[in-house]
Amino acid sequence: MKEDSTKEIYDCDVIPSWLNKEFLENSLRKGLKLENKRKNFKIINASIESATGKGENYASQMFRCRLTTTYDDVNDDVAVRENLNIVVKSLPGSDGKEHLENFMFFEKEIKMLTETLPMMNDILVKGYPHDTKFGARCYYHDQTPSNHFLIMEDLKEKNFKNADRITGLDMNHVELVLKTLAKFHVASLSLSPNVSSTKIYRNSFYSNKNINFVREFVGAPFDVLSDDVINWTNENGDGGEKTRGYSEKLKNLKKNVVEDFLNLLTDDDDNFKLKVLNHGDPWVNNIMFKYDDDDDTTGSGKKPTDIMFVDFQLVSFNSPMVDLHYFIFTSIRNDLKFERIEQFLKIYHKYFSEAVDKLKIKDHVSYDYVTMKKEFESLYLWGMVAICAVYPHMCVEKENALTLDEILKGNKGKLLTLYKNESLRKTLLRAFDFFHEKGVF
């Protein structure tokens, strides 16, 4: 078989030295077990680029690899040339790397993609035989003292796309996400007790074990907001009376917000009626959509026909309302998220009940709408944390995004820049109104 000369295209500023042709060849041979059906597998062209921008993913770095491969078909004894597109996900090369290893993000995601998610996909197909799987296929993974990495299929090659993280999702997208979250949650209820009791899934990232990080990621934003909100303008023409009032209320809230927040999400079996496997991080960038019109590049205004979740590093067992709060207050359009809570809950409960019936666990699961709504309302502090502390990182312009190192080191000056955006300030003032009405602060 004639060999092509190897061509490698790397952006040396962002592509680590270990991510090269040899690494990809060896990993794919192991992961796909190519030598069982193919001989002389080689990568002859490798185009590698960063798959995420600054501020889009704090717990990992991701690279999109477009490969041209060759191999000898063992059956026909002919040379085959084939394109293969993959995504490589690894620990970021930063000072925060040690903290991420302690958080066990990759251990969780590896277990999810290689063991638990395939089980959930098998459960799903029993009631929804024509549905797409919950997530991408994992080709190969490894954990070494120097690095943790995953190699996965590139969902963009199946015409899945991300929606606009700044604009947020309209009702067509929202309903599909709520439907899929409901099926994901219900499928997890059919997992064996051995899976549901697995320690790695019982340990939430938001726990006292990680309290130092939580203080910077959750506590510090409220500290900044309580001082900065006085400088914000509002449309009431009250001379700043409203923002001064919110400043005082935020100062009272921040005194115990970290402890109250952690207590709220503590894995206590008495806290909630039902515990399901939560995705943990269901925001716009971790949800990919497919549309009928493959020429559409953004999905804006289009009705999505399919969906897949990505990034399973924060999965844990908790109330399904934990996922709902996070999704609603980080990812839905601002003109919808505060006005249609009741509608969102009814949509979710409809599909949850449908999934319980289709997956034939109705006799074992009781989760009526009234109970579900009470659980949602009991978690309003989580919703406020999501929109005040997490959402600003999601909608910030790239040049103002904080790195993980800056968050861990408590860079309040840089954190303050997140809240300079007038559009974000309007959203947060509306959020303050909403959560004040709900009695959160």
Contact criterion met (CB below 8 Å) for 303 and 172: yes
Dihedral sign, CA of 323, 325, 330, 336?
positive
The string of pLDDT tens digits covering residues 68-109 is 999 887 777 788 899 999 999 998 766 566 667 778 889 999
d(CA 374, CA 380): 10
Q: Is the pLDDT of residue 204 over 70?
A: yes
Q: 72 has which bridge partners?
A: 39, 79
CB atoms within 10 A of CB 375: 19
- pLDDT above 90 coverage of the chain, percent: 64
d(CA 312, CA 273): 24
Per-residue pLDDT at 237:
57
- Residue that wins the pLDDT comparison between 36 and 370: 370
Per-residue pLDDT at 33:
72
Provide the pLDDT confidence category of residue 178 given band limits of 50, 70 and 90: very high
| Mean pLDDT within 192-196 | 80
d(CA 418, CA 412): 10
- pTM of the predicted model, to two decimals? 0.91
| Mean pLDDT within 3-8 | 42
- Residue that wins the pLDDT comparison between 241 and 187: 187
Q: What is the DSSP letter of 276?
A: E
Contact criterion met (CB below 8 Å) for 1 and 72: yes
Dihedral sign, CA of 250, 252, 253, 256?
positive
The helix or strand, by DSSP H or E, that contains position 335, with its residue range, turns out to be helix 334-337
Per-residue pLDDT at 8:
47
d(CA 81, CA 68): 7
Per-residue pLDDT at 341:
98
The helix or strand, by DSSP H or E, that contains position 42, with its residue range, turns out to be strand 38-50
Dihedral sign, CA of 74, 77, 82, 88?
positive
Sheet strands (E) in 246-387: 276-278, 287-291, 304-309, 316-318
- Cβ partners under 8 Å of residue 212, min gap 6: none
The helix or strand, by DSSP H or E, that contains position 125, with its residue range, turns out to be helix 117-127
Per-residue pLDDT at 9:
45
Per-residue pLDDT at 357:
96
Please, what is the average pLDDT of the chain? 88
Main-chain phi, psi angles of 21, to 5 degrees: -60, -45
d(CA 355, CA 126): 11
Q: Is the pLDDT of residue 13 over 70?
A: no
Tokens representing 367 are: 């989760």
Per-residue pLDDT at 55:
60
The string of pLDDT tens digits covering residues 254-306 is 999 999 999 998 856 667 889 999 999 999 999 999 998 755 445 456 899 99
